[in-house]
Structure 1
Amino acid sequence: MASKSPRQKTGNELWLHLAKRIAQTVFVLFCVATLTFFLVRLTGDPVKAILPDNASLEQETALRAQLGLDQPLLNQYLSYMGGVIRFDFGDSLYFREAALPLILSRLPATIELAAGALIFALIVSIPAGMVAALRRGKSTDSAVVATVLIGQSTPAFFVGIILILIFAVNLSWLPSSGMGGLSHLILPAITLGLYSMAMITRLLRSSLIDVLGEDYIRTARAKGLSRWQGIRDHALKNAALPVVTIVGLEIGNLLGGAILTEQVFSWPGVGRLTVEAITNRDFALIQAIVLFLSLVFVVTNLLVDIAYAFIDPRVRLSK
């Protein structure tokens, strides 16, 4: 029997790795759906949040039966999981419409905010990380490191409030809330992207410092390449590999982590919808949002994991 070529073996390993990751993704989503279903029911009775305070016991009983909350918990769980398999996440208890279309209607606003935050993070972090690495130990490097520490340790809601007070209230340069043109996007995008900017800057700085100390960089300089040519043609490409991974992961983090930012700036996205669902104890909507954001995150991780194997030829898929 003829042995398989190295290319065939690599292809088989890739498909096996992909199948394993898909199975892991399905298992993670199952666990998320199960935990969310039981945890949200610890928050109280949604009927109390929907009906007015003077509602009668008969009205509460009728609404509970209409929503299916009078059924045994196991029956509710089996019905919910059956709907998830059919991509039917039920109807929102508060908005009285299907949960998934409601999420998808808010998704473009969240994508716009996440894209703006990622663009801000990349525009600032790439030159800042390069400057800090090239001027290691100097005042410029210290300033960048201090900024990174502030960006990673400051909560998003605090940053948003400070930006609103400075640029919207005191200077009146930018609007403080709502969704509109580019001016409405600037403050929430900076608020959301500040943590990602700090993380990418720190990673690029450390990665570039490591690469600049390699022998092939010194060899390139000895052959007559200028410092900038050595960085551009050799160092930056290798130093960017872990940064590409982090950027891919940050896409999922930005989409799922915009809850506080959207609430502070009244941005009509999935994050603000999540707060409304929690406030109204909207079981179906909370479950759908958590499962949807989990799906976005794990799929993003899967794509980054697969892409990294193609970006870096040194990476070998585990058997």
Structure 2
Amino acid sequence: MTKYIIQRLIALIITLFLIMTIAFLVVRLMPGSFYDNQDLPETVIQAINAKYHFDKPLIVQYFYFIGNILHWDWGTSIAIQPNVPVFDLLKTRVPISLQINLISLFISIPIGIAAGSLAAIKKNTLVDHFISFMVVIFISVPSFIFATALQYFLAYKGGLFPIIYDAAAAMGTQKAMSMFLPVMALTFSPIARVTRYLRAELAETMNSEFLLLARTKGLTYRQAIMRHGMRNSFLPLANIIIPMFTNILGGSLVIERIFSIPGMGGMMIDSISVSDHSVTIAILMFYSFISLVTMLIVDISYGIIDPRIRVGGRK
């Protein structure tokens, strides 16, 4: 198992390096610069180019970039917050994004499990049809559409919640009210995914031979489902729950912008708009790292659950 994990870690590092290289090239080759719309003297522009090596060939800029990364220097912001280290910017934004995304994930999982179980048990009934219809809606409609609708009807028209996120609100009821709408907008899609997956797994399990055997041994229909059906259906479900965090994190890019949340999403959009390359690359690497780590966790969980994968990894 140790060798299997080491192989996956090496693959993660190589992939992360390739993503970092591609991100650097794509961002640096984007047209425009942060001082295009500013009336700066030519001497100032030359000084900025010299300081950040923008006057060097792209390959030289790349080696400067790699050298700084090896010393854990992600550069400094030149537009978002001038002369502030990029890592310091990320430290203030990452907790907010993680908080909102983790809360939405923890809310989505139990609701999705309850809805999927109910749909499977009530298969081909009105309840099942209603849940399946809502699943289609939640999966088909993008999260930013839900966010805009919630913001308009519940916040603007209804006045039930703040229209935008209140970063200055203290922990408590005021903070919870401020976070309710963005968290709610992020939960619809994962709820639908868990519901659809669990319904399919549990419906198949309910028709299996081992569940029929449990019934013949004297267990009631409910006992057979709760003791055996649910347990066997939850095992494959674990494989989609871990990557769901990455999907929610990606969806929050727009949600954070809509609700003016001072997280990673809004800063990434701003950094691209003003050509703050160091900030853009750092945020891209953050999202890439989260995605790769979730994939690593899934691979390791596969190896723990199924010994055949570990044997294949040794080869």
Question: Which of residues 83, 86, 102 is equivalent to 2:71?
Answer: 86
Give the 3-state SS of the residue equivalent to 2:29 in structure 1: coil
RMSD: 1.6
Which residue type is aligned with residue 23 of structure 1? I
DSSP-derived class of the 2:54 partner: coil
Question: Is residue 2:224 matched to residue 1:230?
Answer: yes
What is the rounded CA distance, in whole Å, between the counterparts of 2:210 and 2:138 in structure 1? 34
The match for 2:128 is 141
C-alpha separation in 2, matches of 1:47 and 1:251? 33
| Letter paired with 2:300 | I
What's the offset of the Cα at 1:314?
A: 6.3
C-alpha separation between the residues in 2 aligned to 1:121 and 1:315? Answer: 32
Pair 1:203–1:174, CA change in 2 (3 A): same
Question: Percent identity at matched positions?
Answer: 27
Output the amino acid matched with 2:205: V
Aligned counterparts of 1:89 and 1:257: Cα–Cα separation in 2: 25
User: Structure 1 residues 277 and 47, CA, compared in 2 at 3 Å: closer, same or farther?
Assistant: closer
Please list every run of at least 4 consecutive aligned residues from structure 1 whose deviation after the TM superposition is greater than 6 angstroms.
none
Superposition TM-score, scaled by structure 2 size: 0.91
The answer to whether the 8 A contact 1:161-1:264 is kept is: yes
8 Å contact from structure 1 (residues 47, 60) kept in 2: no
Matched, 1:46 2:33: yes
Alignment match of 2:147 (pick from 137, 140, 160): 160
Q: Tell me by how many angstroms 1:313 deviates.
A: 4.9
On the 8 A contact 1:177/1:265 being kept in 2, the answer is yes
Q: Is the 8 A contact 2:33 2:274 kept in 1?
A: yes
CA contact (8 A) 1:177 1:266 kept: yes
Gaps of 5+ in 1: 1-13
- Per-residue CA deviations over 1:260-293 (Å, capped at 9, x if unaligned) read 1100111111111111111111111111111121
Number of equivalenced pairs: 303
Match of 1:97 in 2: 84
Q: SS where residue 123 of structure 2 aligns?
A: coil
Partner deviation per Cα, 1:152-173 (whole Å, 9 max, x = no partner)? 1111211110001111011111
* SS state at 2:64 partner: helix
Partner of residue 212 from structure 1, selected from 206, 209, 234: 206
- Output the TM-score relative to the length of structure 1: 0.90
Is it true that 1:65 corresponds to 2:50 in the alignment?
yes
For residue 218 of structure 2, give the secondary structure of its aligned residue in structure 1. Answer: coil
1:3 matched residue in structure 2? none
Structure 1 residues 211-220 or 59-68, which shifts more? Answer: 59-68
Give the Cα separation in 1 of the matches to 2:157 and 2:95.
31
SS at match of 2:301: helix
Q: Residues 105-184 of structure 1 correspond to what in structure 2 (within 5 A)?
A: 105-179=92-166, 180=169, 181-184=175-178
Q: Distance in 1 between matches of 2:46 and 2:135?
A: 54
Q: What is the SS of the residue equivalent to 1:307?
A: helix
Matched with 1:273 is: 267
